[in-house]
Amino acid sequence: MTNRLRTVREKLGLSQEAAARLLNVSLQSVNRWERGKFEPTTGNDTVLALLPLLAAGQVPKPCATAKREGFDIAFLARHVRGCPDCRLAVAYLTSVAK
């Protein structure tokens, strides 16, 4: 069974340590995720999409609609589910805020 996080990480040429640092999680978390024992709290797909951005030194930006709404928390709660841009931005914010 191949692990998608491991595939993405190796494609980026990152060690588990480097990936953990970028995602602001412990090395044990990355190790567990790659062994498929735990799901990342932000969701697998978000982590998989976030890692290449972070490795490239980019910061995920919320979409124009969220900016227009002034990042209203009630709006975002409804909105992020259907918006990949905002989902990434929120995941990034929660990972750096940890």
Distance CA(60)–CA(76), nearest Å, equals 15
Note whether 5 binds Zn ion by CB under 5 A.
Answer: no
Q: Please tell me whether residue 50 binds Zn ion under the rule CB under 5 A.
A: no
Question: What is the distance of C-alpha 36 from the center of its chain?
Answer: 17
Between 20 and 86, whose beta carbon lies closer to Zn ion? 86
| C-alpha of 7 from chain center | 15
Based on the shown chain and the rule CB under 5 A, indicate whether residue 83 belongs to the binding site for Zn ion. yes
Kindly state the tokens that stand for 50. 């976030």
Positions touching Zn ion (CB under 5 A) are: 63, 66, 83, 86
